Amino acid sequence: MINIVHWLQRHFANIYKGFLVLLSIFLLVQLFPRQPGFEFEYQQARPWLYEDLIAPFDFAILKSEDELRRERETLMEEFMPFFSRQPRVAESMIGNFEDSFERAWAEAYPDNGSPALKRRTRQAGIEILTHLYSAGVVFLDEQFRDKPESYAIRVVDDNVARTSVLGAMYTIQEAFLYAISVLEDRQDRIDSDLLQPLLEDALSHNVFFNEELTQRTFEAEMENIPLTRGMVQEGEKIISKGEIVTSERFRILESFRAEYQMQIGDAAQRTLLYAGQFVLVAISMVVLLLFLYFFRKDVFYDNRKILMILLSVLLMVFLTSLMIRLNIDYLYLVPVCLVPIVIRAFFDNRLALYIHIITIILIGFLIPRSFEFVFIQFVAGIMAILTMASLRRRSQLFLTVSLIFATYVAVYFGLSLAHTGSFENLYWNEIGYFAGGAVLTLFAYPLIFLYERLFSMPTDFSLLELADTNNTLLRNLSLQAPGTFQHSMQVANLSEEAIIAIGGNSLLTRTGALYHDIGKMKNPQYFTENQTSGFNPHHDITFRESARIIIDHVIDGIEMARKHNLPEYIIDFIRTHHGTTTARYFYNMQIKENEGGEVNKADFVYPGPRPFSKETAVVMMADSVEAASRSLGKPDEKQINQLVDNIIDTQVQEKQFDNADITFKDITTVKGILKRMLLNIYHVRVAYPTLGQPR
C-alpha cells in the first residue's frame, strides 16, 4: 500500500495531465452531433461532384425556411379574427330603454299626451336599438382601429361563426350618429327631443374581440401548414453528375439527407458513431501532446499551461456547437480567432498557430461542408497571429480585428468567385456576420486578463504595466533607496540584452529585474549603493547581524510584493536572485574575527530557492556582476573580464543554475554580453594590438 502511495506521489503530475486530457476528450465528444454523417458534400449554385444520385427510398421534399415563412406571413395576412356577440346586452339595454321611456314621457306629458304620438315615439326608439344591436355595436381594440371597413372578421353568435366585415357593424360613435339621423328623418311624427337622450343612454357594445379563440385557432392553423411539398419516388433521379445545385435541387438534397439520417440512425449505429467521434478527438489531443512533448517541453510538463490550452479549445468548440444548435446561419459570428490571439499572448507564434489548427479541425467535425469554414478561419488565424507577433500595446487588438475582418471578406469573395464566376450568389448578410465575429474577437482582452489571474502567467500586457517606473513600488524605491533603484535599472538593462542573446522572455526578465531588490526599502541605509553620507551603520553591529539584515531583504521583498499584489512570476525573481549563495564578505569577516573558531555558515546563507528558469538565472548573474563592478576603482578591460568570469564561475560551481534550463553555452554567451555592456558603462577603451604585433 505504501509503495502505491509513493508511486502515486511520484507520478501525480502525469496522472493529472492524463485526467485533464481524457476529461477534455469526453467533453468535446459531448458537443458533437449524434446524427449519422452524410457521405456527400454539396453547396448551392455549385456543380454536383459525384455520380448520378438515385433515390433509394421514397421521401417528402421539405419546404425551405423562406417558404414556410412566406406561408406563415400569408396566413397572418388572410387570417380572420374572432369576435363574440353578447345577446343579453341587447335584451338588457332595450328593456332599460322601455322603463326609462315611460318615466320620461310621464314627466314630459303629465296628462299622458297623445296616445298615438307616444306609441310612434316608443316604437321608433325600439326599432333603432333593435337595428343597431342586430348589426352589432363593436368594441375595437387598438389593433383594429386602423383597419378598413372591408377588413374580414368572424362573428360568433350562439356558437355559430359567420363571416362579416368591420363596415357591417357600428362603433359606439357611429351608432349614436345613426340614431340622430333616424330621429331627424322622423321628427315630424315623433318626439325626437325626448327620445335622443334616452337612446344615448341605451347604447352599449354588444360585440367584443375574442382573443383566446383567435389565438387558439391561429396556432392550430399555423400547425396545420404542411412542412413538405411533393414527393420523390424510389428509383427517381435526384441529381446528375456535373449538374448545378439549384435552389430547388438543394431543397431536395437537404430533404434526402434528413430522411437518410433518420432512417439509419438506430441505437447500434449511434454507439459506433460515438466511438468514431471519440477516436477522432483522441487522435487530435494525442497529436497536440506529441507536438508539445517534442517542441515545447516547458509547456508539456506544466499542467497549468496544459489546462489553459485545453480550456481555450473547449470554450471555442462549445461556443460553435451552441451557435450551430441555435442557428447555423450565424456561424461566422463565433470569434474563432480569439483562440490564437489568447494563446499568442502567453506563448509564441508557432504554438498559437498549432493550437488554432487543432481547434478549427475539431470545429470542422461539427459543421456540414466544413472546408470553406476551416480555410477561412485558418487564413484569418494566421493574420491574427502575425499582427500579434510584436505585441506591446493594447491598441494592436483593434488592428488585429480590422485585419481579421478584411481577411474574412477577401477569402469569402475569392471562394465565391472561384466556384460560381459571378457576384450573383454572394450573400451580403455574410459580410455582417464576418464583421460581428471580428468585433467579438475583442473579448480576447478580458479573457487574457482572466487567464492571467487564474493561471498566474505573464503576458506582454501585464508586464508592460508592471515595468512602468511610475508604479507605486518602483516609485517608492526611487525615493527611499535611489541607489538601489539605479542598480535595478542597470540590472534590467544587462539582463534584457543577455536574455535576448540566449533566447527567452526579454520583457519578463526586464520587469523581474526592476523589482528584484525592492526589499531593500526596509533598511536602505545598510546597502552600500544608498550610503551617500559616508556613514556605514554596519560598523555598529556584529557581522552576523549585518548578514541577517542583508539576507532579509529577500524575505522583505517577497512580503512587499505580496502586499502590493504582484504576480508570482515577478516574486520568483525576488526570491531567486541570490539563490542559496553566501553573504561572503560578512561570513569571511566573522571567520577572521573568530580566528579559526567555529562559525555557523547557515547564518550567512540566503534562503533560496535557486533560479529555475533562464530568466531568473540571467537576473542572478547580472545582479551579482553589476553590484560587484561598483567596487572597482578604475576598472579596465582585464578587471571587468576577471570579475565577470570569477563571479559567474563561482555561481556555477555552487550549482546555482542546476534547476534552470540554461546551458554552458548560454552561460558563456551571457558572460560575453555582460562584459561588453560593463565596458560601455564604465567607458573602458578596448586594448587593441600594436601595429607590429601579430593578431
Chain segment 432-462, per-residue pLDDT in tens: 888 998 999 888 888 988 898 888 888 877 8
pLDDT of residue 314: 94
Is the separation of the CB atoms in 481 and 519 below 8 Å? no
pLDDT of residue 351: 93
Element (H, E) at 450: helix 444-455
**What angle separates helix 349-364 from helix 303-327, to the nearest 10 degrees?**
40
Secondary structure class of 114 (helix, strand, coil): coil
- Sequence-separated (6 or more) residues with CB below 8 Å from residue 70: none
Q: How confident is the model at residue 420 (pLDDT cuts 50, 70, 90)?
A: low
pLDDT, one tens digit per residue, over 535-580 is 888 888 888 999 999 999 999 999 999 999 999 999 999 999 999 9
The residues facing 156 across adjacent strands are 84, 161
Question: Pick from 66, 191, 72, 208: which is nearest to 136 by CA?
Answer: 208
- Sequence-separated (6 or more) residues with CB below 8 Å from residue 281: 25, 28, 29, 32, 362, 365
Within 10 angstroms of residue 570's Cβ, the number of other Cβ atoms is 21
CA–CA dist 652, 629 (Å, integer)? 19
Q: Where are the beta strands (DSSP E) in 191-272?
A: 207-209, 228-232, 237-239
Q: Is the pLDDT of residue 614 over 80?
A: yes
Is the separation of the CB atoms in 228 and 59 below 8 Å? no
The conformational region for residue 113 under phi > 0 = left, psi -120 to 50 = alpha, else beta, is left
pLDDT, one tens digit per residue, over 270-290 is 677 788 889 999 999 999 999
Is the separation of the CB atoms in 501 and 668 below 8 Å? no
* Cα 277–Cα 280–Cα 282 angle in degrees, nearest 5: 105
**Does the global pTM surpass 0.95?**
no
Q: Is the pLDDT of residue 376 over 50?
A: yes
Q: What does residue 240 show for φ and ψ, rounded to 5 degrees?
A: -100, 155
| 135-139, 168-172, 409-413: the lowest-pLDDT one | 409-413
CA–CA dist 560, 552 (Å, integer)? 12
- The pLDDT mean for the chain works out to 86
Q: Is the pLDDT of residue 599 over 90?
A: no
pLDDT, one tens digit per residue, over 5-24 is 777 677 788 888 999 999 99
The conformational region for residue 136 under phi > 0 = left, psi -120 to 50 = alpha, else beta, is left
Is the separation of the CB atoms in 342 and 444 below 8 Å? yes
Better-predicted residue by pLDDT, 308 or 145: 308
Segments in 156-246 forming alpha helices (H): 172-185, 192-202, 211-223
pLDDT of residue 525: 92
Mean pLDDT value of segment 607-635: 91
Is the separation of the CB atoms in 491 and 513 below 8 Å? yes
- Sequence-separated (6 or more) residues with CB below 8 Å from residue 679: 637, 640, 686
Q: How do the domains of the chain map onto residue ranges?
A: 14-26+268-455, 37-63+226-264, 82-209, 461-681
CATH architecture, domain defined by 461-681: Orthogonal Bundle (1.10)
CA–CA dist 451, 459 (Å, integer)? 10
pLDDT, one tens digit per residue, over 154-196 is 999 888 889 999 999 999 999 999 999 998 888 888 888 888 9
Better-predicted residue by pLDDT, 418 or 263: 418
pLDDT, one tens digit per residue, over 302-345 is 899 999 999 999 999 999 999 888 888 888 899 999 999 999 88
pLDDT of residue 691: 39
* Cα 261–Cα 263–Cα 264 angle in degrees, nearest 5: 70
Determine what percent of the chain is predicted with pLDDT higher than 70. 92
Going by the DSSP 8-state scheme, the letter that residue 170 receives in this structure is B
pLDDT of residue 617: 96
Question: Pick from 318, 377, 316: which is nearest to 343 by CA?
Answer: 316
Mean pLDDT value of segment 196-207: 91
The residues facing 164 across adjacent strands are 153
pLDDT of residue 695: 33
Secondary structure class of 54 (helix, strand, coil): strand
Q: Is the pLDDT of residue 647 over 90?
A: yes
Could you check whether the bond before residue 609 is cis, i.e. omega within 30 degrees of 0?
Answer: yes
Q: How confident is the model at residue 690 (pLDDT cuts 50, 70, 90)?
A: very low
pLDDT, one tens digit per residue, over 45-72 is 777 877 888 888 888 888 877 888 888 8
Q: Is the pLDDT of residue 596 over 90?
A: no
CA–CA dist 585, 541 (Å, integer)? 15
pLDDT of residue 268: 52
pLDDT of residue 392: 58
Whole-number CA gyration radius for the chain: 44
